[in-house]
Amino acid sequence: MALSQKSNGASSDGHLMIDLRDVHKYYKTAVDDFHALNNVDLQIHAGEFVSIIGKSGSGKSTLLNMITGIDRPSSGEVFVNGMAVHELNENKMARWRGRNLGIVFQFFQLLPMISVIENIMLPMDFCRMYSMREREKRALELLEIVELSDHAYKLPTALSGGQQQRVAIARALANDPPVVIADEPTGNLDSKTAESVFALFNDQVAKGKTIIIVTHDSGLAKRTHRTALIADGEIVNEYVARAMPTLTREQLLQATHDAVAKNYAAGSMIIAEGTDADAFYIVTKGTVEVVLPRPNQSDVIAVQLGPGKYFGEMEFFHEKKHRASIRASEHTPVEVLAIGYDRLSELLNQSEVTRDALHQFADLHEAENIRKRGGLS
Amino acid sequence: MTSRWKKVWADFWGSKGRTILTILTIAVGVLAVGFNNNMRLFMVESMDGDFLSSNPSEAMVYAYPMDENSVKIARQVAGVDAVEGKSIIAANIVMEGRDEIRIQFTAIENPNTLTVNTLKPALGETGIAVPGEKEVLIDSSAASLGFKVGDTITVELDNGKIRKLRLAGYLHSATGYPYNLTRQVTAYVTLDTIVWLGGDRSFNALAVSVSEKQTDTDHVTEVAQAVADRIERSGATVDFVYINQPGHHYAYTTAQAMFLILGVLGWLTVLLSGVLIVNTITALMSQQTRQIGIMKAVGGRGTQIFGMYVVLIFFFGLGALAISVPLANNAAKTIGDGMAAWLNFFPAEYHGYRSTLVQQLIVALAVPLLAAWIPMYDSVRVTVREALTDYGIKGAVKRKEKKVSRAALLIPRPMRLSLRNAFRRKARLALTLFTLVLAGAIFISIYNLWASFDQVIHDIQGYFLADINIGFNRGYRLERVSSAALSVPGVSGVEGWLEYPGTIVSENKDEAGRQIMFVAPPSNSTLIDPIISAGRWLTTGDENAIVVGNQIQSIFPGLKIGGTMKIKINGRETEWHIVGFYTIVGNPDVPLAYVNYEYISRIIGQPGIVYALRVITTEHDSATQNRVNDQLQALLESRGIHVTDARLGADFVRDQTAQTDIFVYFMLVMAAMIAIVGGLGLMGTMSINVLERTREIGILRATGASNFDIQSIVIVEGLVVGLISWMISIVVSIPITNILAYGVGISMLQAPMPVVYGTTGIVAWLLFTIVLATVASSLPAQRASRLTVKDTLAYE
């Protein structure tokens, strides 16, 4: 089963900017077809700052190529800002890309034979954006933003790696595209320079741009709005990753595969207290409420759990009967991922750390449950 | 200028080495076409302009005696426009320390009032001096003899008398033959002077100009023969009718043959240049693949990017034009002026030629664009992903099951690397090989053609085997002249030959006959080695047997072995049995037919009389020939036998060779140009290979390869490519040699030349290839060895 990764509510006030639907990508090799992307669904909203992380060869760049139209999916659909990118021919794609996407490459990819400012003006020339006079003015403004206006008329080779990457960012912003996509933008930079580049991205997000970066740096990834973890061409559900961060990528992918999505209308009951427990749940959308009964037969909401939070772990480690009722919040519908105890057991057998961590939380929640029930009585 | 055009300019101006190489590649083709075309147009314009402005006669009818009445009769013949009677005699200039030089005097009253074959002031002069009594004017082509105006020129007449003439001045005879080619001085004297020189007031030649179709040989021949018939009927004896390329300068056909060869070579150079352009542009586009990817990634459309490269190639073409147009003009003018001096015509004012410029524009702009179209199209079509990932060392290389054979392991590893590198880019290798092979094949073929010319001369020599050929002013008894000759030390044998005019009788009684010359060696002659194409040579006892040549065959294609010919001799019709056909390349003034001396001397009533003596010397070197010739002439003169013409075998070969060598020199220049194209091709390929393997070179460096190792790998690769091309070019040169020998033979000598496959060209090209490959690979090799590990491994 495939799981989609949808943006959380935190930045969903923007419209859907990027929408990948059931995307597969195969490459022919001397041996057989290589499945580079497998059943990928990814939704990113306007104004989000998303990082894509994964090991080398996991499919990060292929995923990025799908979004930028640099490559086409073998099957599935890719929409960017409402445009069916997978349907564009190479020529239309180039023009569309020039106006709608800014791309920042790991190795900067500045044209070495023309000056820094010419590199920035090139996308404007190709896409005939802005008047001739405005192009230079805008390029200088962009260089001002990346603090390189003093180097405008130098050749790129005269600049340091960090400076070149900032020029590449300025070039990516040349046509004022709504989306900027960066492939390992800090991969070749020292930490201080990487920090300044990251700050630039943050500024752009603040101005409403949608930024997607591919990075190896999990520390950097954590500072984005959300992270898409990719392993073996598939996107690991970020809520699974949040719930069990100590699992390896392969284990997370396994967990993603094992998880079954369940949707509940607002206010509907998900689990009733006292019933047999058979699954571990991770909230992916909306808010669930843990409800405890009052002596007067009324309920009290003991705790609210948002995306990334989980329940059902106490029952896994202790008595296999639900210790509280859980229902969808009255305000929003809820989506949860359910992982059967047998599958969870298999996963935890592979990761003692996760088992211990989950056990600790189970004990903590159990104690809390008892405390709250005691408080109620 | 927008930034994308700035990129185009930066690509053009920024990579100067690549730009120069590409421009030179195109420029060679543009230069070859421009030079050839300019030369052809300039020479034709100059030759024809100079020649036709002299109101040339198309035919000369040699007959005796003639007077003004004969001229009037000739003028009445249908088709005749103008006729001028000439009194012509020949003598020898005597110069101390030099061989005698033949001089031909033509009588004129005033050199400025001629109506046919008019004369012009020599180059740089404003007028022609009118010769006075015992004064002579000579054609400026003989100025190399060193006579100055006012000098006395001593001549020995055919009757042995010595005459001294004062040089009144030089003039330019556009219709005459230049001294440097014929070794005969064209001279003009007054009628009184010619009588003083032993000539006659009556004419012995008529210069005939036809009223229409001046360049139609058949028409001119018909009219001239009609004139000859009328003159003969009027009582004169016609010796022969001479027609050579009517309406054109005498060197026209020769020049046309040369232009044909140069033109073919020129366009071959363009073809090679085109192939090189494909290679260069393919490599350029391969280098630009990543940049194309970047441009596409930032919004560049395929058509926009394609347009950028079209403009870049346009710039290359303009660069090539800037170099080649003035160079082609200057070269054509300089060499054309030299040719004019050599072939004795006034060069026209050089003004450049629009048609050449059009051709050059096509070669400089359209050919590169056509050549580059597919590489450009392919590169621009590359997707961004391919462009940004599939460059340099490829990631997804097909697995190869092949193993390196044990035998291959015996080759040193760096050498194996060179061999493997040479075959890595097969399409590029194929194009480079194509260029080098074609260049090599043409180079070898030109050497073979040179050998063919030598063979032709050798073959012609077979008809003139004597060491010394002596002509007399009249017939002498063979016993008398041969006994005299044999008494000269160094003479080992003599043969008395007869040359006598005849007229082939046409089946159509109204049609004028065709003049031929009987050449009659004794039936047991050892001084002729003809090339028999059909039938047999003359044997002792043959009576009216005749062997005719390819010239007569081409005029009368119906002639067959065993057939008969009717030939009029001294007005009497005789019948001859054709026993054989001989082949001779070249176009003698009058077609020659060989018959037995014994028979024809009887027919003409002069048995035992000879007009020429063929002498064999004991040694055949030039010094012996000269010595014996001097002694022989002195002896004959002392015995009252007047020698009109003496020619050494060695001189004959020298003169013939001088005429063909000029072609070979021209062709070698073209071959050198082609070789340069080949070298540029190899240099380009090696540069590209080195560039593409920058990272590999870094790896080699990192694993300990020295400068020498890296340079060796690159140079050996170049040598491998060069040697492969050399081997293939030997094979390819065979058909090209055949085509050249046929084409040049037909256009220049009116018969295919014998094909000779020599080793000189093969060896020369091998040496050239080794030098070329070494030089062409050295620069890229040096560049490769200068790369540091850091540079190369960071190379993207």
Question: Which tokens in the block code for residue B724?
Answer: 């492969």
3-state helix, strand, coil in chain B (%, to 5): 55, 20, 25
B15-19 CB contacts, 8 Å cutoff, 24+ apart: B15/A113, B17/B687, B18/B284, B18/B687, B19/B316, B19/B319
Number of structural domains, chain A? 2
Chain A residues near residue B296 by CB distance under 8 angstroms? 90, 94, 97
Q: Measure A71 CA to nearest chain B CA, in Å.
A: 6
Question: Is A114 a domain residue?
Answer: yes
Tell me what pLDDT residue B399 has. Answer: 40
pLDDT tens digit sequence for A33-52: 788 898 898 889 999 999 99
| A contact test, residue of B3, B4, B296, B315 with most A CBs within 10 A | B3
Question: Is B641 a domain residue?
Answer: no
Report for A54-58, A221-225, B135-139: range of highest mean pLDDT: B135-139
Q: Measure A178 CA to nearest chain B CA, in Å.
A: 14
A183 and B CB contact within 8 Å: no
Within 11-40 of A, beta carbons closer than 8 Å to B belong to: 27, 29-31
Sign for the CA dihedral angle at B151, B157, B162, B163 comes to negative
In the sheet with A260-264, reading across from the earlier edge strand, the strands are: A260-264, A334-340, A279-285, A310-311
| Phi (first) and psi of residue A109, to 5 degrees | 55, 50
d(CA B381, CA B384): 9
On the question of pLDDT at B96 being above 70, the answer is yes
A128 and B CB contact within 8 Å: no
A86 and B CB contact within 8 Å: no
Which one is predicted more confidently, B1 or B720?
A: B720
Chain B residues near residue A31 by CB distance under 8 angstroms? 399
Number of structural domains, chain B? 4
Tell me what pLDDT residue B395 has. Answer: 34
In sequence order, the β-bridge partners of residue A33 are A28
Tell me what pLDDT residue A359 has. Answer: 92
Tell me what pLDDT residue B383 has. Answer: 79
Read off the pLDDT band of B652 (50, 70, 90).
Answer: low
d(CA B676, CA A292): 95
Q: From the centroid of its chain, how far is CA B758?
A: 19
Question: B264, B449 in Cβ contact below 8 A?
Answer: no
Residue in chain B lying closest to A169 (CA)? B298
A65 and B CB contact within 8 Å: yes
Q: Does A190 share its domain with A66? A: yes
Q: From the centroid of its chain, how far is CA B713?
A: 42
Question: Is A247 a domain residue?
Answer: no
CA gyration radius, chain B? 34
Chain A residues near residue B288 by CB distance under 8 angstroms? none
Q: Does B272 share its domain with B412? A: no
Question: Is B637 a domain residue?
Answer: no
Q: Does B233 share its domain with B323? A: no
Question: Is B633 a domain residue?
Answer: no
Mean pLDDT of A290-299: 77
The alpha helices in B206-344, defined as continuous H runs, are 217-233, 252-297, 302-343
Q: Which has the minimum average pLDDT: B100-104, B329-333, B627-631, B673-677?
A: B673-677
Question: Is B135 a domain residue?
Answer: yes
Q: Does B94 share its domain with B128? A: yes
Question: Is B431 a domain residue?
Answer: yes
Q: Does A47 share its domain with A119? A: yes
Read off the pLDDT band of A9 (50, 70, 90).
Answer: very low
Q: Does B258 share its domain with B165? A: no
Chain A residues near residue B2 by CB distance under 8 angstroms? 121, 125, 132, 135
On the question of pLDDT at B564 being above 80, the answer is yes
On the question of pLDDT at B413 being above 70, the answer is no
Name the residue range of residue B708's domain: 408-463+652-796
Tell me what pLDDT residue B410 has. Answer: 58
| Phi (first) and psi of residue B173, to 5 degrees | -105, 100
Question: Is A372 a domain residue?
Answer: yes
Closest CB to A114: pick one of B3, B385, B397: B3
Q: Does B157 share its domain with B218? A: yes
Q: Does B47 share its domain with B193? A: no
Q: Does A28 share its domain with A172? A: yes
B680, amino acid identity: L
Out of A207, A236, A265, a domain closes at A236
Chains A & B: contacts with CB separation below 8 Å = 97
Question: Which tokens in the block code for residue A344?
Answer: 């969870």
On the question of pLDDT at B585 being above 70, the answer is no
Which one is predicted more confidently, B75 or B286?
A: B75
Read off the pLDDT band of A2 (50, 70, 90).
Answer: very low
Q: Find, among B582, B518, B598, B584, the residue nearest to B547 by Cα.
A: B582
Read off the pLDDT band of B416 (50, 70, 90).
Answer: low
Please give the mean pLDDT across all residues of chain B: 82
Q: Does B456 share its domain with B476? A: no
A98 and B CB contact within 8 Å: yes
Q: Does A295 share its domain with A346? A: yes
Name the residue range of residue A355's domain: 255-376
- Please list, in sequence order, all residues whose beta carbon lies within 8 angstroms of the beta carbon of residue A326, skipping any fewer than 6 positions away: A269, A270, A271, A281, A288, A289, A290, A291, A311
Q: Does B302 share its domain with B203? A: no
Q: From the centroid of its chain, how far is CA B94?
A: 33
Q: Does A224 share its domain with A324? A: no
pLDDT tens digit sequence for A308-317: 899 999 888 8
Chain A residues near residue B294 by CB distance under 8 angstroms? 105, 109-111
Q: Find, among B254, B325, B266, B299, the residue nearest to B29 by Cα.
A: B266
pLDDT tens digit sequence for A68-118: 888 889 999 999 998 998 888 877 788 888 889 998 887 778 888 788 998
Question: Is A348 a domain residue?
Answer: yes
In sequence order, the β-bridge partners of residue A22 are none
Read off the pLDDT band of B787 (50, 70, 90).
Answer: low
Chain B residues near residue A69 by CB distance under 8 angstroms? 384
d(CA A300, CA B310): 77
d(CA A41, CA A196): 31
Read off the pLDDT band of B402 (50, 70, 90).
Answer: very low
Read off the pLDDT band of B228 (50, 70, 90).
Answer: confident
The alpha helices in chain A, defined as continuous H runs, are 60-68, 90-100, 116-127, 132-145, 161-172, 191-206, 218-222, 238-243, 249-258, 313-317, 341-350, 352-376
CA-CA distances (angstroms) from residue B577 to A315, B560, B563, B599? 130, 10, 6, 13
d(CA A126, CA A133): 15
Question: Is A2 a domain residue?
Answer: no
Mean pLDDT of B675-685: 77
Question: B602, B621 in Cβ contact below 8 A?
Answer: no
A104 and B CB contact within 8 Å: no
- Angle in degrees, CA B442, B443, B449, rounded to 5: 80
Out of A171, A203, A236, a domain closes at A236
In sequence order, the β-bridge partners of residue B519 are B499, B594
Question: Is B513 a domain residue?
Answer: yes
d(CA B409, CA B20): 40
Q: How many residues does chain A have?
A: 377
Please give the ipTM for the structure prediction: 0.70
Q: Measure A62 CA to nearest chain B CA, in Å.
A: 9
Question: Is A129 a domain residue?
Answer: yes
pLDDT tens digit sequence for B29-84: 888 889 888 988 898 888 888 888 888 888 888 888 888 888 899 999 988 998 98
Cβ distance of A126 and B298 shorter than 8 Å: yes
Q: Does B217 share its domain with B253? A: no
CA-CA distances (angstroms) from residue B400 to A30, A312, B394, B407, B426? 10, 55, 14, 19, 16
Tell me what pLDDT residue A3 has. Answer: 36
pLDDT tens digit sequence for B734-755: 999 998 888 877 777 667 788 8
What is the per-residue DSSP string for A44-99? EETT-EEEEEE-TTSSHHHHHHHHHTSS--SEEEEEETTEEGGG--HHHHHHHHHH
Q: Does A34 share its domain with A124? A: yes
Q: Does B256 share its domain with B354? A: yes
Coil, helix or strand for B385? helix
Question: Is A243 a domain residue?
Answer: no
CA gyration radius, chain A? 24
**Percent of chain B beyond pLDDT 70?**
89
Instruction: Give the β-pairing of B184-189 and B101-107.
Output: parallel
In sequence order, the β-bridge partners of residue B617 are B491
Q: Which has the minimum average pLDDT: A139-143, A186-190, B42-46, B788-792?
A: B788-792
CATH of the domain at A84: 3.40.50.300
On the question of pLDDT at B589 being above 70, the answer is no
Mean pLDDT of B663-688: 76
> Phi-psi bin for B377: left (phi > 0), alpha (psi -120 to 50), beta?
alpha
The alpha helices in B407-425, defined as continuous H runs, are 413-422
Tell me what pLDDT residue A337 has. Answer: 93
Question: Is B625 a domain residue?
Answer: no
Question: Is A120 a domain residue?
Answer: yes
On the question of pLDDT at A30 being above 50, the answer is yes
d(CA B631, CA B619): 15
What is the per-residue DSSP string for B657-708? HHHHHHHHHHHHHHHHHHHHHHHHHHHHHHHHHHHHTHHHHHHHHHTT--HH
Tell me what pLDDT residue B393 has. Answer: 30
Mean pLDDT of B236-240: 77
Cβ distance of B4 and A122 shorter than 8 Å: yes
On the question of pLDDT at B280 being above 80, the answer is no
Out of B212, B243, B274, a domain closes at B243
On the question of pLDDT at B792 being above 60, the answer is no
CA-CA distances (angstroms) from residue A317 to A248, A363, B429? 22, 8, 71
Q: Does A261 share its domain with A225? A: no
Within 268-327 of A, beta carbons closer than 8 Å to B belong to: none
Cβ distance of B299 and A95 shorter than 8 Å: yes
On the question of pLDDT at A5 being above 60, the answer is no
Question: Which tokens in the block code for residue A137?
Answer: 């003015």
Q: Find, among A344, A345, A297, A348, the residue nearest to A325 by Cα.
A: A297
**Percent of chain B beyond pLDDT 90?**
12
Tell me what pLDDT residue B701 has. Answer: 66
